[in-house]
Chain A
Amino acid sequence: EAGVTQFPSHSVIEKGQTVTLRCDPISGHDNLYWYRRVMGKEIKFLLHFVKESKQDESGMPNNRFLAERTGGTYSTLKVQPAELEDSGVYFCASSADWRSYNEQFFGPGTRLTVL
């Protein structure tokens, strides 16, 4: 069974440009999460989808970030316009259940570098 996949693995863009990250969760997982790790710091929660609905987007840093999950399958995270401080590794995770004790399966991450 395929795990969580993310595309691209690495993106280098200039400040002011737009970038779209994609996440394909494990098939059948209704819950999809986005996280970000900046400059070797802790991994921080961005938002949580249950199917196509945003359950919690309290971690989204500002309105330059837009996440979608049309059809409840894959998700995209768009950064527009990108700023230098957006550089980091963006992880996607999925789980079959939203409850605390359920394991989240993580993808390999997308490393975003904003110059």
Chain B
Amino acid sequence: AQKVTQAQTEISVVEKEDVTLDCVYETRDTTYYLFWYKQPPSGELVFLIRRNSFDEQNEISGRYSWNFQKSTSSFNFTITASQVVDSAVYFCALSGPYNNNDMRFGAGTRLTVKP
């Protein structure tokens, strides 16, 4: 069975602090895909990143970085020098090897960045 756990329900930081959002997953598949989505106050889910199970390279995109570690089944997301506009709910998701209608989401982490 596939499962995604985001243990942090809510995180509050002050602007310019670094913050890491945790994501731990469970799957029996050897091929799988991991995603992060951002849900700003406007409501839509905005795609941030996709990572396949064979690519453990960490990725950096501006202030965002992702640390994928298969050994611990984790795909953590770090925001460096957080800004108020980063305030949102962030979802981690896992998809199996074939079709993406078996995507499993975590419960989400609400990040609040205070000025």
By a beta-carbon cutoff of 8 Å, the part of chain A in contact with chain B is 3-4, 9, 33, 35, 40-45, 47-48, 55-56, 89, 91, 93, 95, 98-109
For the complex of A and B, the 10 pairs showing the least CB-CB separation, nearest first, are A106-B45, A108-B43, A48-B101, A43-B105, A108-B44, A42-B107, A100-B95, A42-B105, A100-B100, A98-B99
Q: Which of A40, A95, A102, A104 has the most CB of B within 10 A?
A: A104
Q: Does the CB pair B44–A106 fall under 8 Å? A: yes
CB neighbours (8 Å) of A109 from chain B are 43-44
Q: How far is the CB of A71 from chain B (nearest CB, A)?
A: 21
Given contacts A9-B43, A40-B107, A42-B106, contact A101 B33 (CB under 8 A): yes
Contact count A vs B, C-beta below 8 Å: 72
Q: Please, which residues of chain B bring their CB within 8 A of the CB of A41? A: 107
In the assembled complex, 12 residue pairs joining A and B whose CB atoms fall closer than 8 Å, in A order, are: A40-B107, A42-B106, A42-B107, A45-B101, A56-B99, A89-B43, A100-B98, A103-B35, A104-B100, A105-B47, A107-B44, A108-B44
Which residues of chain B have C-beta atoms less than 8 A from A9's C-beta? 43
Complex Cα distance, B99 from A55, in Å, reads 11
Given A100-B100, A107-B44; 18 other pairs, CB 8 A cutoff: A40-B108, A42-B107, A43-B91, A43-B108, A45-B101, A47-B101, A48-B101, A56-B101, A89-B43, A98-B100, A99-B100, A100-B33, A100-B97, A101-B33, A103-B50, A104-B100, A106-B44, A109-B43
Residues of chain B within 8 A of A95, CB atoms compared: 100
Which chain B residues in 68-115 approach chain A with CB under 8 Å? 91, 93, 95-108
Give, as a whole number of angstroms, the nearest-CB distance from B95 to chain A. 5
A47 closest partner in B (C-beta): B101
